[in-house]
Amino acid sequence: MTKKDLNYYLSLDYNIDLQPITEEDGGGWLASLPELEGCMSDGVTQTDALKNLEDAKVDWLEFCIENSLPIPEPKIYTNEYSGKFTLRVGKTVHKKLVETSEREGVSVNNLVNGFVNAGLQETAGSNYFPELVKERSHSYYRVKDDKRPDEK
């Protein structure tokens, strides 16, 4: 059994939420670890916010360990997501999906999965899916530049 010490928790890929802070609230970026409630930091740039978040993460975990408080693990490790859900659609939509899947030579599941992924990519950066604003590698955002989305 793995010893669940500070190094163990630091090795886990927690989800990161990275959001711009409005100029009205001081500007910059807010980075947080939603699975570690209250673990957050900010910075002038995305890079600063993520670096500061790593420091906050260490402090947050150390506090919990020292005080014998429970530390949640990333949801990816909890088997909470099976990758399967049921979706009911109307007969006309079902017919169009089957016809399209046959024409494309893929299963209906693969076709719908492709549509869902394309829809998520299209809405990345919108208010609907703020967690998809940046392309991610593991749970860390790859920062392409330090400009806010509304800056040129």
Distance CA 87, CA 117 (A): 16
Residue-level pLDDT at 131 = 46
* DSSP per-residue codes, 25-59: GT-SEEEE-TTSTT-EEEESSHHHHHHHHHHHHHH
Over residues 121-141, the mean pLDDT reads 46
> What confidence tens digit (pLDDT) does each residue in 11-67 have?
988 888 888 998 999 999 999 998 999 999 999 998 899 999 999 999 999 999 999
Query: What pTM did the predictor assign?
Result: 0.52
